[in-house]
Amino acid sequence: MKPIDRVAMSFVAFGFLFHTYIHVAKAEWFSVGFWLWAVSPYLVALIILLRFRNAHATIGALVFPIVVDMAMYHSVFVSPRGSTAGLGMLFAPLWNLVLFVPLGAFAGRWVGKQDGDNVL
C-alpha cells in the first residue's frame, strides 16, 4: 500500500470514527439509519478508493466534508446558537453528497493526474 493510499484510508477512517463517536457518545439513542446517513459521504469515498483505486480523488472528496462535519459538531455540541442547530446534522450529509464529494473527487483526480500520481 502506497503512502497516499494510507492517507486516503485515514480520511475515511476519521469520518467513520467521528460519526460513530457522535452517535454513541453524544446522542440520546443510537440509530443505525441516522449513522448510515451521516457516514454516507465516507462510504462513497471508500468506494472511490477501493473500486477506482484513486487515492487523490478520495482525499479530494473528503477534504470539505471533514471541515463541514467538524463545523457542524462545533455548532451543535460546543456552542449551539439556537434550538434548530441540530438540523445541521441532518442536512450536512446531503450537502456533502450532492456538492462537496463530487467536486472534491474531480479536483483530487485532476491534481493526481497533474502530479503523475507521485505525491507522497
Show me where the domains of the chain are located.
3-115
- CA-CA distance, 106 to 87, in Å (whole number)? 28
Write the CA distances from 87 to 22, 32, 76, 82, integer angstroms: 14, 18, 9, 10
Q: Per-residue pLDDT for the chain (120 aa), expressed as one digit of tens each?
A: 899 999 999 999 999 999 999 999 998 899 999 999 999 999 999 999 999 999 999 999 999 999 999 999 999 999 999 889 889 999 999 999 999 999 999 999 999 888 665 544
- CA-CA distance, 85 to 100, in Å (whole number)? 21
pLDDT reported for residue 119: 45
Question: Model pTM?
Answer: 0.90
Whether the CB-CB separation of 52 and 108 falls below 8 Å is answered with no
pLDDT reported for residue 66: 98
Alpha-carbon 21 to chain mean position: 14
